[in-house]
Amino acid sequence: MRYLPHTAEDAAAMLETVGVREIDGLFASIPEGCRFTGRLDLPEAFSEWELERRMAELADRMAISPEYLLFLGAGSYDHHIPATVSSLAGRSEFVTSYTPYQPEMLQGTLQGIYEYQTLTARLLGMEVATASHYDGATALAEALLMAVRITRRKKVALSRAVHPHYRQVVRTYFAPTGYELLEIPCLETGLTDLDRIGECGDLAAIAVQSPNFFGCIENLQVAADRTHACGALLVACFTEALAFGLLKSPGSQGADIVAGEGQSMGIPRAFGGPALGMLASRKQHMRSLPGRLVGKTTDRDGKRGFVLTLATREQHIRREKATSNICSNNSLNALTAAMYMASLGGTGIRELAALNHDKAEYLKDRLREAGCTIRFAAPTFNEFVVGLPGGFEAGHRRLLDRKIVAGLPLGPYYPELADCGLICVTETCSRQEMDRLVREVIP
Amino acid sequence: MSEALGTNGLVLNEPLLWERGKKGRRAFSMPAADVPPNPLPAELTGEGPDFPDLGEIEVVRHYTRLSTWNFGVDTGLYPLGSCTMKYNPKINEKLAGVPGFAAAHPLLPTALSQGALQLMHDLERFLSEITGLDAVTLQPAAGAHGELTGMLIVHAYHRSRGRQRTKILIPDTAHGTNPASAALCGYAPVPVPSGPDGVILPETVAALMDDETAGIMITNPNTLGLFEENMPEIARIVHSRGGLVYGDGANMNAVLGMVRPGSIGVDILHLNLHKTFSTPHGGGGPGAGPVAVRKDLSRFLPSPRIVERNGVYALSADFPESVGRVVAYHGHFGVLLRAYAYILSMGPDGLKEASRFAVLSANYIRERLKDVLHPAFDRPCMHECVFTDRNQQASGVTTLEMAKRLIDHGYHPPTIYFPLVVHGAIMIEPTETETKEELDGFIEAFRSIVREAGENPQALREAPSRTKVKRLDETAAARNPCLAG
């Protein structure tokens, strides 16, 4: 096996040094009754070339562009990834290192994550951002637990327009805690009914997603004002980080904590993971943040350098009193996101975000003209809810036969929207492709 | 004496991203607009983020230079104990980039994502075979996330039996993630002291285990690099009081194909695919932490789960007792596929050989350093060997100083000051993928540092001296945190 470099001669010399005759002698501390004496029932070893063929067979059974025309978003977005980003993020000095416990020999990762924290804080309009979480859903769950710690209140409310899977993950995290979860309903406009915030009582936090799961842009300023009036924290959530190239940032509208998904920032969809949990807050809450943080410092010669910091919040120091159990996070994806944000720049991200919005508006207008229902009146970013002539499910199924995935049917998530689907358009979708969808939706 | 591995080279300075660039530059090929502009109402739009505008060459040079300040397994020996920094196969990186996997949307209709579902279903079966447990979830995103998932299952199990419990037993050698994960489920950790030989004694567990205790979290082999030989008896005691045995599989790299945790009393186990199954550590993730359980606990596994019927794979959420979803989609699929490729590359015999050579390599290092460093326990180890700082106390040289000096020699230091029960702990895990020459070089370097500690301790206090930055002030960083520029 090529990953095991030991020759028989090496093994013999090592065994002689150790003073045992056979390697098995080193396992003498394992009692007989604990040993597995059989042979694992696994496939025989593949050569590299057999492996490539096997994996190609599996990969071929996945529907991807360009064979398929996909209008799927719902938390995982198809954006162009510059070759530079893939190439740089694939550098093995980044890929094959680990958590920078020895900062002097991992300054590349550390400066890279410090830059990521900075760009993320700027993107979200916050003062500090963590080094990363697993994904948007776990970042949201950790943000809400953080709000409980800060406010010492035991109840949180989530908008019904928060990604349904995120709400499920929050429910999972909250199940053993005894903290209460409330749901804030939506209005006919597709927006959260912010008037209901005041009725929720003694809340630690309100979570509102913007753009929300329906693509609609929420008024976070009003959400923040109402939330703060109850003495609670506003946790702004998002699934499409690119939106903040164009929209007001959550921080500028009064959010206290921002948590969401950074996959749009140069990270392949990879069937949903690994993605990137982004989590940011105001500086006053810095010591309540879960997860790794990189800080700036100096070395003995006074030169600038970076280290993991505020470790006294963390599990390896505080154990059961830690602000989170997180250890390995999604560092390489955070670094990738920073590369992507740096590649776009302030000018580029605005242009790209506007292009996403304009394309989605184009398709929305064409679909409306073709007799589709645009379900919600509220402004949207790059996805929107639509009803198809003849019913969404039927239309969706029919289009699948033509190798078009016309968005996500919403029935399984929102019974009240059983006849609608969520359509997403990004910069990767051409006008011709959108026109084709419009032609084909008419039965 | 051959030339030392560590040397000085030209290292380039590189400013922070926003100290570079000029307004109007870009490193992104912007698609031309083929639709008319359609501006949002002004009250919804902001200024846009304050990012620097950089040219493509600037971005490339920036990150290339940063990468040269980093050290990875591809650079050299990285013997971080309990982290299993083995070689990360290049072919697996290539496979992760195959468009069918990399570009796959997680919410594709199942009929259009059979390849990924089959891969995951196969991987579940492989991990089930390796652990000797009956069912597997691939959702957990990292080892600690697997622990949380396991504790959620423990919590759901006790709730289903009508009475929740309040405590959990955790050995004093455990990773900090164990108590932190248990605490998230409301369990108060009860420390279990290790016995004189570094392993947990059944009588200690028997004295602590009661009807208020949900179970035990036990790492085997433990973080002292020792096999918990009393595992079956410990499990019997815990089970007899209605508790569950959670196995932390962080150190499974020692016993692949030789011990199946499910056969020695473990009810729930997480694996770290980024340790045992060779997926890269990425400077701190992403990893993956699948959880395996015995049959009667499978009803609590996160949902949706992959189900197969007549060769067709589907996702089913029809598990009413499930703890629910732990991630937004299916877990770290990009990591799962690398582990799948690794298992196929190794085969059943290769996996066992990996463990055998991991253990031989650790014992070889232990044997060749034990006359200069004090072994924490006088017995053979499994995949990692642990030393104390006893021999260095007279000279006043610390474990940290020796570790920093190793950097000058061109090696990543071992894990230090962990486990907490070992004074000045030095925990070395070489893994099976290092050549004997590499191990010999590391051993010689460590021996020379120990000599230097006696002769010229100042050199250790000034280490590292060959890195781009010298010893960094971590105290100042924490006192006045600057987390963004």
Q: What is the pLDDT of residues A233-245, one digit of tens each?
A: 999 999 999 999 9
Q: Does one domain contain both B323 and B388?
A: no
- The two structure tokens encoding residue B316: 């089913």
Q: Does B331 share its domain with B354? A: no
Q: CATH number for the domain including B406? A: 3.90.1150.10
Instruction: Give CA–CA dist A253/A299, Å, rounded.
Output: 38
**DSSP alpha helices (H): ranges in A308-330?**
315-318
- Looking at the fold, whether A353 and A236 belong to one and the same domain comes out as no
pLDDT digits (tens, 9 = 90+) for A9-47: 999 999 999 999 999 999 999 999 999 999 999 999 999
Residue A267 falls inside a structural domain? yes
When CB atoms are compared, the residue of B54, B67, B144 closest to A327 is B144
Q: Check: CB of residue A328 under 8 Å from CB of residue B140.
A: no
Ordered per-residue pLDDT tens for chain B, 485 residues:
468 898 888 999 999 999 999 999 999 999 999 999 999 999 999 999 999 999 999 999 999 999 999 999 999 999 999 999 999 999 999 999 999 999 999 999 999 999 999 999 999 999 999 999 999 999 999 999 999 999 999 999 999 999 999 999 999 999 999 999 999 999 999 999 999 999 999 999 999 999 999 999 999 999 999 999 999 999 999 999 999 999 999 999 999 999 999 999 999 999 999 999 999 999 999 999 999 999 999 999 999 999 999 999 999 999 999 999 999 999 999 999 999 999 999 999 999 999 999 999 999 999 999 999 999 999 999 999 999 999 999 889 999 999 999 999 999 999 999 999 999 999 999 999 999 999 999 999 999 999 999 999 999 999 999 999 999 999 999 999 999 99
In a domain, B410, yes or no: yes
Residue A169 belongs to some domain of the structure: yes
Residues A323 and A411 both lie in one domain: no
B-contacting residues in A 318-357 (Cβ below 8 Å)? 318-322, 324-333, 335, 338-339, 341-355, 357
Structural domain containing residue B204: 92-345
Which of A217, A184, A219 is closest to A199 using CA atoms? Answer: A184
Last residue in a domain, options A310, A340, A370:
A340
At residue B164, φ and ψ (nearest 5 deg) are -75, 155
Tell whether B269 is covered by a domain: yes
Instruction: Note whether A230 and A280 are same-domain residues.
Output: yes
- Taking CB atoms and an 8 Å limit, are B359 and A321 in contact across chains? no
Note whether B219 and B174 are within 8 A (CB): yes
For residue A73, being part of any structural domain is answered with yes
Domain containing A263: what range?
83-340
Assess whether B192 and B122 both reside in one domain: yes
Residues A239 and A253 in one domain: yes
Q: CA A290, A296, A297, A302: dihedral to nearest 10 degrees? A: 170
The residue-averaged pLDDT of A383-404 equals: 95
Q: Tell me: do A196 and A296 sit in the same domain.
A: yes
> Residue A393 in contact with residue A411, Cβ under 8 Å?
yes
**Does A279 reside within a domain?**
yes
Residues 33-62 of A with CB under 8 A from B: 33-36, 39-46, 48, 51-52, 54-62
Residues B329 and B375 in one domain: no
Residue B412 is predicted with a pLDDT of 98
Shared domain for A121 and A240, answered yes or no, is yes
What tokens were used for B96?
A: 């992760």
B142: nearest CB among A171, A270, A328: A328
Report how many domains make up chain A. Answer: 2
CA-CA distance, A161 to A183, in Å (whole number)?
Answer: 9
Task: Tell me the CATH number at B331.
Answer: 3.40.640.10
Whether residue B327 lies inside any domain: the answer is yes
Instruction: Tell me: do B231 and B103 sit in the same domain.
Output: yes
Whether B4 is in a domain gets the answer no
pLDDT at B2: 63
Same domain for B277 and B416, yes or no, is: no
Q: A284, A317, A340: which is the final residue of a domain?
A: A340
Q: Is the pLDDT of residue A110 over 90?
A: yes
Alpha-carbon distance A143 to nearest alpha carbon in chain B (angstroms): 14
Contact B16 A115 (CB under 8 A): yes
Same domain, A330 and A375: no
Q: Confirm whether A320 is domain-assigned.
A: yes
Q: What is the pLDDT of residues A124-181, one digit of tens each?
A: 999 999 999 999 999 999 999 999 999 999 999 999 999 999 999 999 999 999 999 9
**How far apart are the CA of A396 and the nearest CA of chain B, in angstroms?**
11
Contact of A286 with B483, CB cutoff 8 Å? yes
Candidates A60, A348, A349; nearest CB to B115: A60
Whether residue A8 lies inside any domain: the answer is: no
CA atoms in the 13 A half-sphere facing the CB of A303 = 13
Per-residue pLDDT reduced to its tens digit, B294-318: 999 999 999 999 999 999 999 999 9
Q: Is residue B405 part of a domain?
A: yes
Q: According to DSSP H, which parts of B15-55 are helical?
A: none
Tell me: do B121 and B268 sit in the same domain.
Answer: yes
* Residue of B12, B29, B35 to mutate for A, most A C-beta atoms under 10 A: B35
Residue B458 CB: number of other CB atoms within 10 A?
10
What does the pLDDT look like over A344-360, one tens digit per residue? Answer: 999 999 999 999 999 99
Give which of A24, A53, A95, A98 to mutate to test B binding, by max B Cβ within 10 Å. Answer: A98
| Number of folded domains that form chain B | 2
Please tell me whether residues B296 and B206 are part of one structural domain: yes
Nearest by CB to residue A128, choosing from B33, B73, B483, is B483
Give residue B1's pLDDT.
43
Residue A342, pLDDT > 60, answer: yes
Domain end call among B324, B345, B366: B345
A172 domain-assigned: yes
Q: Would you say B140 and B146 are in contact if contact means Cβ atoms under 8 Å apart?
A: yes
Q: Is there a single domain that holds both residue A278 and residue A203? A: yes
A390 pLDDT band (50/70/90 cuts)?
confident
B interface mutation test: which of A78, A304, A325, A400 has the most B CBs within 10 A?
A: A325
SS3 A280: strand
Chain A nearest CA to B447, separation (Å)? 16
Residue type, A203: L
Q: State the complex-level ipTM.
A: 0.98
The answer to whether residues A99 and A174 belong to one domain is yes
CATH number at residue A124: 3.40.640.10
Domain boundary among B293, B316, B345: B345
Q: What is the DSSP code string of A197-264?
A: GGGG-S-SEEEEESS-TTSB---HHHHHHHHHHTTPEEEEEES-GGGGGTBPPTGGGT-SEEEEE-TT
Pairs of residues, one from chain A and one from chain B, whose beta carbons lie less than 8 Å apart: 708
The amino acid at A251: G
In a domain, B287, yes or no: yes
Domain membership flag for residue B182: yes
What is the overall mean pLDDT for chain B? 97
On whether both B335 and B459 belong to a single domain, the answer is no
Q: For residue range B82-139, what is the model confidence (pLDDT) as tens digits?
A: 999 999 999 999 999 999 999 999 999 999 999 999 999 999 999 999 999 999 999 9
A residues 179-198 closer than 8 Å to B (CB): none
Has residue A206 been placed in a domain?
Answer: yes
- Same domain? For A290 and A229 the reply is yes
| pLDDT for A86 | 97
The nearest CA of chain B is from the CA of A180 a distance in Å of 15
Among B48, B281, B474, select the one facing A246 at the smallest CB separation.
B48
Contact yes or no for B138/A280 (Cβ under 8 A):
no
Please tell me whether residues B196 and B323 are part of one structural domain.
yes
Residues 6+ apart with CB under 8 A from B95: A51, A52, A55, B101, B337, B338, B341
Distance, C-alpha A30 to centroid of its chain: 42
Domain co-membership, B284 together with B363: no
Question: Nearest Cα to B84, choosing from B466, B322, B354, B342?
Answer: B354
Q: Chain B: residue nearest A138 by CA?
A: B327
Tokens of B110: 């199942």
Do B369 and B387 contact (CB within 8 A), yes or no? yes
| Residue A292 shares a structural domain with residue A366 | no
Residue window 210-239, chain B: list those with CB within 8 Å of chain A: 226-227, 229, 231-232
Closest CA relative to residue A257, chosen from A224, A229, A226 = A224
CA atoms of A296 and B479, how far apart (whole Å): 11
Boundary of a domain, candidates A340, A372, A404? A340
With residue A184 as reference, give the H or E element that holds it.
strand A180-184
Interface contact A282, partner B, CB < 8 A: no
Q: For the domain that residue A427 is a member of, what is the CATH number?
A: 3.90.1150.10
Task: Let me know whether B278 and B302 are in one domain.
Answer: yes
Quick one: which H or E segment has residue B102?
Answer: helix B99-102
- Pick from B345, B367, B385: which residue ends a domain? B345
- CA-nearest residue of chain B to A422? B107
